[in-house]
Amino acid sequence: MTEKSRLVVHPPHDLGGVPAGPLIRTEQDMTPFEKSCHALLNVLNKHLLVNTEEKRRGVEDLGSEMAVKLTYYEHWAVSASEVLIQKNIITSEELGTKMTEINERLREEA
C-alpha cells in the first residue's frame, strides 16, 4: 500500500499497526498547565462552547506530524482553540495577543 493510499484508509492520527517502541506505563502528577487545561476544557463543555466530539475531531485534524510533537493536553488545547476560532468566539489575533501577554508575564516572573 502506498503512503497516499494508506492515508485514505488510515487518517494521519490512526497509528494502529505502525511499528513503535515498548509502552512504558507510569503514574505522574498533573502539571499546573495540565490542570488548568483540564479545568478550562470542562468549563468550555459546561457552557456548550466546545464539546467532546468537536475536541476529538480537532485532535484528529492535527495530522501525524503535529500529533507526535504535542503532549496529550497540548492536543486538546490546540483543538479547543481551533474550534473557538471556527465558531467565531475568538479570533486567531486575540489568541495570539493573549499568548504573547502570558509569555511576557511568565518571563517577568522568572
Q: How confident is the model at residue 28 (pLDDT cuts 50, 70, 90)?
A: confident
**CATH code where residue 35 lies:** 1.10.472.20
The model's pLDDT over 33-54, given as tens digits with 9 standing for 90+, comes to 999 999 999 999 999 999 999 9
Residue 9 lies in a domain: no
Alpha helical stretches, state H, 10-71? 32-46, 52-60, 63-69
Residue 21 lies in a domain: no
Residue 5 lies in a domain: no
And the C-alpha cell for 11? Answer: 487518517
Q: Are the beta carbons of 62 and 75 closer than 8 angstroms?
A: yes
Query: What's the domain range around 58?
Result: 29-109
Residue 63 lies in a domain: yes
Residue 47 lies in a domain: yes
Give the closest residue to 36 by CA, choosing from 92, 102, 85, 104.
102
The model's pLDDT over 77-92, given as tens digits with 9 standing for 90+, comes to 999 999 999 999 999 9
pLDDT of residue 63: 79
Indicate the number of domains in the chain. 1
User: Between vectors from CA 62 to CA 56 and to CA 68, what angle results, nearest 5°?
Assistant: 105
Residue 65 lies in a domain: yes
